[in-house]
Every structure is written in C-alpha cells, then in structure tokens.
C-alpha cells in the first residue's frame, strides 16, 4: 500500500477542498509535500480526472495553488489538480555547492539524474510520471485520466513527460517552457551536473528534440509572454515552433503581448488551459 500520507493543511475552496500532504517518496529517498485540489464532484462513486501541474525554478507546490486562480474553473469543470514540489528536499539531499538558485533544491528539472551525488535523490521524472500518480489514484477519488501542464522549468517537464509517455496523458500544455534546454544556460548547467558531460544523453530530456520522433501527436498548447525577461536567452520557443513544423506535430504557440514570466501571466490565461485539458479529460 506504500507509505502513509500525513495531512499538512486543508482549506475548503469553491465547494471543493485544497489539501497539502506529506509522504515519504521511495523514488526520491526523502520526505515530499504535494498539494491536491479536489472539486466538489469528486466522491467514492464519482472519480474525477486529474491535471498534474509542474512548477518552475525555486517554486514549491504552493505557488500555483495560491497564485494561479485555477480552482474556480476546476471546480466548475470537475477536474482535480495535483501540484508536486519541484525537487527533492531535506537534510540528506545535496543542493547547489555554490548556493545558487537555479540548480539543486527547487531546481530538479524533472529528469532522472545519473551522476553522483545527485543520482540518489534527483529522480523527479520518475516521481511525477509514476510514483506520485499511483499514490494519488489509490488515495483519492480520482480516475486514471491524466493531463499535464507546467510553467518554465515545469513547462519543460510537462512537455517531456507527455512526449516520452504516449498514451499516459490525455492532453498537455505549458506556460513559458524551457523549450530547448540543451541549448540554454539553465539547461546546460542542470544537465551537465545531473546527466554528465556527454551531451548525447541530454537529448531525451529536450522537448524540441523529442518532437522529431514523438510516437503520439497530442496537440501542444503553449503560451509565452513577449515581455518575458528570459524569452531569448533561456526559453527559446522558436526552437519548439521550428521542431513542431518540421515534424508535423500540432502546436499552438501564442505570443501574448506585454506579459512577463510571472504568475500574473499564468493567472491571465489559466482558464484557456483548463478548458483545453477539459476537452480531452471529459470527452467520451
């Protein structure tokens, strides 16, 4: 049955419940916290589908749940939302030896690390794709209808999780994803440490490279603010656009005038993404 859940907090919201839980992750070898929003429709005889939200650098489960404004429409649609943390944490989990914010704690990058000392704990890909959904589906009144979305580093994670796992998700979307991490400073720093210096092994964690051989053609919805300070140096949505065009992969990439990288941007367009996922999660 796995490790027990310990409730951290509970708040009623739009007729449903937002709750935070702590559990021991066998995949990551540490304690983890995640948040779940259960809409009012969820019950033992009425399991609801789930949108998994992956957050970005320095974030936790709390950023999306508190700032995105997603619960009102999720409650109306009857969709649960699960927000994991962004990396393993704890006294035994190594962070960045230089103390920087864009690697280590809060910056797991949703990969499975292969290099020491990271390989023991930094397996966020396995955690969000396999361990956490299994825990959610046996612990809450939800179905195995899953979708995935995320922001920045989490947008990268959402795209990679969907592209690498045909049939596992009904839909995918992203806000300002790190679209080509093998060719940007954030990605190069993380991948060289987590995965080692051989860049050939990085390709399986880069959405723009995965598109060429994607076995499933889930339509990609991506929103990007054109005033995002990380747009040209880190995010590189044009690489994703070009890769999708070359592969014939359906992509809706919306450049939103005047918007930055913040949760003000996410809150402005989250309803569009929820409806995008609802069309797939609630169909037939």
6-281 belongs to CATH 3.40.50.1820: yes
Q: Which candidate, 146, 118, 142, 114, places its Cα nearest to that of 130?
A: 146
Helical segments of the chain, H only: 61-67, 71-77, 124-126, 132-139, 153-164, 185-194, 207-210, 237-247, 263-281
Q: Tell me the catalytic residues.
A: 152, 228, 261
Q: Is the peptide bond before 117 cis (omega within 30 degrees of 0)?
A: yes
Residue 219's CB is within 10 A of a number of other CB atoms, namely 14
Q: What is the pLDDT along the chain (284 residues), one digit of tens a residue?
A: 356 899 999 999 999 999 999 999 999 999 999 999 999 999 999 999 999 999 999 999 999 999 999 999 999 999 999 999 999 999 889 988 888 899 999 999 999 999 999 999 999 999 999 999 999 999 999 999 999 999 999 999 999 999 999 999 999 999 999 999 999 999 999 999 999 999 999 999 999 999 999 999 999 999 999 999 999 999 999 999 999 999 999 999 999 999 999 999 999 999 999 999 999 999 87
Tokens representing residue 141 in the block: 């009144």
Residue 95's CB is within 10 A of a number of other CB atoms, namely 15
3-state secondary structure at position 73: helix
Cα-flanking dihedrals φ and ψ of residue 70, to 5°? -90, -15
């Amino acid at each position: 049955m796995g490790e027990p859940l310990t409730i951290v907090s509970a708040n009623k919201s739009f007729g449903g419940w937002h709750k935070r839980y702590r559990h021991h992750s066998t995949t990551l070898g540490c304690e983890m916290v995640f948040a779940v929003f259960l809409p009012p429709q969820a019950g033992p005889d009425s399991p609801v589908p789930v949108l998994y939200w992956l957050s970005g650098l320095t974030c936790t489960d709390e950023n999306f749940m508190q700032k995105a404004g997603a619960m009102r429409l999720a409650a109306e649609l009857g969709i649960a939302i699960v927000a994991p943390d962004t990396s393993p944490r704890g006294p035994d989990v190594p962070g960045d030896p230089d103390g920087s914010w864009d690697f280590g704690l809060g910056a797991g990058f949703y990969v499975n690390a292969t290099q020491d000392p990271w390989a023991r704990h930094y397996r966020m890909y396995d955690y969000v794709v396999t361990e956490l959904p299994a825990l959610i589906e046996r612990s809450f009144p939800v179905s195995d209808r899953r979708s995935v979305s995320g922001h920045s580093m989490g947008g990268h994670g959402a795209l990679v999780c969907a592209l690498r796992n045909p049939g596992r998700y009904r839909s995918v979307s992203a806000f300002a994803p790190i679209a080509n991490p093998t060719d940007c400073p954030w990605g190069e720093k993380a991948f060289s440490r987590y995965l080692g210096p051989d860049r050939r092994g990085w390709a399986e964690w880069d959405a723009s490279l995965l598109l060429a051989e994607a076995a499933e053609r889930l339509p990609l919805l991506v929103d990007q603010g054109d005033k995002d300070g990380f747009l040209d140096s880190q995010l590189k949505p044009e690489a994703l656009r070009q890769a999708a065009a070359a592969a014939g992969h359906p992509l809706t990439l919306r450049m939103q005038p005047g918007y930055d990288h913040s949760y003000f941007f996410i809150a402005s367009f989250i309803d569009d993404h929820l409806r995008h996922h609802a069309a797939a999660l609630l169909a037939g």
